[in-house]
Structure 1
Amino acid sequence: MLTTTATTPEVIDNLTSGVYPAFAMLAGMQLDLFTPLGDGPMSADQLADAIGVGSAKLKPLLYSLVTANLLTVDGEVFSNTPEADHFLVQGSQII
């Protein structure tokens, strides 16, 4: 008798769980949003003005970067994590 196993999304979930934070980091690097935050915490509106984008479209990315542990948020104010400050700010170790 032929037995079948249940199909689950585990393989796909495992792959995508690593891709989305990487895409968020890449978008943040392309917008160079880590550099202004290297000077200190900013609201989404302040950061949007600093990098020349709309804050409504920037906010989801900022919260994705919080989830990826590259930014922190306190109320409505965002800051780089120590890793982002060290590696993702223009003039830092990598950039």
Structure 2
Amino acid sequence: MQVAASEGAQGLGCLVVMNDEIHAARFVRKVHTSSPAAFASPLSGPIGMVAEGAVRIFVRPERGSSRGARRGQERCLRRAYHARHR
């Protein structure tokens, strides 16, 4: 609730906040089933964090269609996954 109510998060769209990290929903992936750090943004990293009760936004992702970016990101993730599991 703290992130959703913060002025810094206005205009960022849908966000995922977990383990004090703030991720843009379009870039976040679930990377572990039970870890407290279960979510990550492998290609972009978190856009901010909650520290000492304050919301800190480091990066403001460009708004607009993320469809092309998402396809490129998914391709990169698939390649990285297959490279690690050969």
The TM tier, using the shorter chain, reads under 0.3
TM-score w.r.t. the length of structure 2 is: 0.23
Report 1 or 2 for greater relative contact order, CA contacts < 8 Å, sequence distance ≥ 6: 1
The structure number with the bigger radius of gyration is 1
TM-score w.r.t. the length of structure 1 is: 0.22
Q: Which has the higher strand share?
A: 2
Q: Which has the higher helix share?
A: 1
